[in-house]
Amino acid sequence: MIALFLALAVAPWAHPLRFRPVPGWQTGASSNTHSVYVGHGTRVVAPLESTAWIARHVRYRDHATADPPNTTLARFPSDAVIVWAVIFNPAQTGEKPIRLDLRQARRFACCEAAYVAGGEYELTGSGPGRAYSVIVRIYFGSPPTSRLRAQAQLALNQLELPSPR
């Protein structure tokens, strides 16, 4: 019984979050690390997170876990797009499953140190089987045109959320 519980708790973390490669895009990811997203009073034996990013027309200069990636955003060309994602446990109470659809993204007030001309958009929800929570942030170098939106959606389509099993 305990082995089954541990297997279910560890399963999503066996393969860290990542984006499938796409020609013309750079990708990167962290390994599983201690989570900074788990709030006080949450009881998790080992709170974990895993981050990944995909970028077009900009050299990604931050550590994969940087939220926001201020060093990269400080030199953000107008035609650039970054999609950054994190998963962390446990899934937050009341979350609906995430839909990786840019049309569902909400504008998000960004950033701590860097101006982002096109703004930042965010998607949130739970991962498969409510095994973890997901945050996806989309950064645009200029107000998003239909071309930039299509590029961002292409990147979102490459995000591989780990299986809960």
What tens digit of pLDDT does each residue of 28-43 get? 999 888 777 765 445 5
- pLDDT for the residue numbered 165: 73
- Chain centre to alpha carbon of residue 41: 24
- Phi first, then psi, for residue 150 (nearest 5°) are -65, -40
- Does some domain include residue 165? no
- pLDDT for the residue numbered 26: 97
- Does some domain include residue 85? yes
The residue assigned the tokens 């409510």 is 130
- Does some domain include residue 67? yes
52: alpha, beta or left, given left = phi > 0 and alpha = psi -120 to 50? beta
pLDDT at 46 over 70: no
Rounded average pLDDT over 10-29? 86
Task: Count structural domains, the chain.
Answer: 1
- pLDDT for the residue numbered 44: 53
Which residues does residue 96 pair with via DSSP β-bridges, in sequence order?
Answer: none
Domain hosting 148: range is 2-160
Q: How distant, in Å, are the alpha carbons of 11, 38, 42, 89, 149 from that of 45?
A: 15, 11, 10, 10, 39
64-114 tens-digit pLDDT: 999 999 999 998 999 999 999 999 987 888 899 999 999 999 998 776 767
Query: What pTM was computed for the model?
Result: 0.86
Structure tokens at 139: 């950064």
- Does some domain include residue 52? yes
112-159 tens-digit pLDDT: 767 888 989 999 999 999 989 999 999 999 999 999 999 999 999 999
